[in-house]
A = this chain, B = another copy of it.
């Protein structure tokens, strides 16, 4: 049998209450007593019973991090950074940061949220783009509201702010979402396209991400805005998922739609890699025949040949900040929302159009 608090108490010749207080360190205990208790804990290999503790204290030390695709470094980097800020704050009770992979499925997102609510999670971080389906958005908002009511701190990272009914300023309703770190996908995308335009490109194809995702839409909007400002007509656009295969296929399709393309902008770096492969397979050279650009600046982008022009998103920093916000270790930005900007990284995959 596993040892219980009572066993430890008996061995240390104190009451269970005292043991609990030693373990939680939120009540004065004489040094000698503490010593004795800790020794007993050690000798019995005692480990607190989490469920019992959470039940009695009405709080738990679980922090959930939801990601859309755990195999994608975009999420891995953010999640890892957040986790590193959450695990073992000094003094505080050790928190258990766990990442939950929704795989982009709305049902799983909701399921995980319910599961986290069931565990009375102390905080929840949602990373990456959201689905734009109104029904789903409402369901998520409702769940988050309930989580927040139960005391969980909610942080959005790389996701647009959630508009909650009845949570406006002055209504006295505490907003469900404690803080939002939103990525400036529009602005980054716009600067990227401006860069391409400056290089002389006029026929630019676009490999977009999955439809109905905020990230996809914002990046497309930035791209179109840049074109509109320059008075350049948009080129062909194909939707796909966020993987290299999709980038490959979509690029072939783009080429079919407009064989005279001089540039391809991809939804992200992974997709861009697929695009490069497709172009090469068609015998086109990068950037001499066609320029290619990605987004995110994942670690491998600099190793592509040629190195990928892209927009760097400070994923690690954003994830870490989200982690701190979830722990209440960092002040909430004014208005609860902070925008994280991307930086244009010009590298070898984009070049001037031929004269």
Q: Name A's B-contacting residues (CB within 8 A).
A: 2, 45, 47-55, 60-62, 64, 69-73, 76-77, 79-80, 83-84, 87-88, 94, 96-101, 103, 108, 111-112, 114-120, 146, 149-150, 243-244, 270, 273-274, 276-277, 280, 299-300, 302-305
**A112 CA to B49 CA, complexed, in Å:** 15
Which listed residue, B64, B83, B111, touches A87 by the CB 8 Å rule?
B111
Tell me, in angstroms, the Cα distance from A276 to B300 when the chains sit together. Answer: 12
8 A-B pairs with the lowest CB-CB distances in the bound complex, closest first: A98-B98, A51-B54, A71-B76, A305-B305, A50-B118, A51-B55, A50-B119, A273-B303
User: From A305, which residue of chain B is reached at the shortest CB distance?
Assistant: B305
Bound Cα distance from A303 to B77, whole angstroms: 21
Q: Are A115 and B103 in contact (CB under 8 A)?
A: no
Cα–Cα, bound, A307→B89 (Å): 43
List chain B residues, Cβ under 8 A from A270: 299-300
Write out the residue numbers on chain B whose beta carbons fall within 8 Å of the beta carbon of A276. Answer: 303
CA distance A97 to B111 in the complex (A): 11
Q: With a CB–CB cut-off of 8 A, which chain B residues contact A280?
A: 305
Contacts of A114 in B (CB 8 A): 47
Contacts of A76 in B (CB 8 A): 69-73, 76
Instruction: Tell me whether A150 and B2 are in contact (CB under 8 A).
Output: yes
Could you list some 24 contacts between A and B, CB below 8 A? A2-B149, A47-B114, A47-B146, A48-B118, A49-B55, A50-B119, A51-B52, A52-B55, A64-B98, A70-B76, A71-B73, A79-B101, A87-B108, A87-B111, A96-B100, A97-B101, A99-B99, A99-B100, A270-B299, A270-B300, A273-B303, A277-B303, A300-B300, A304-B304
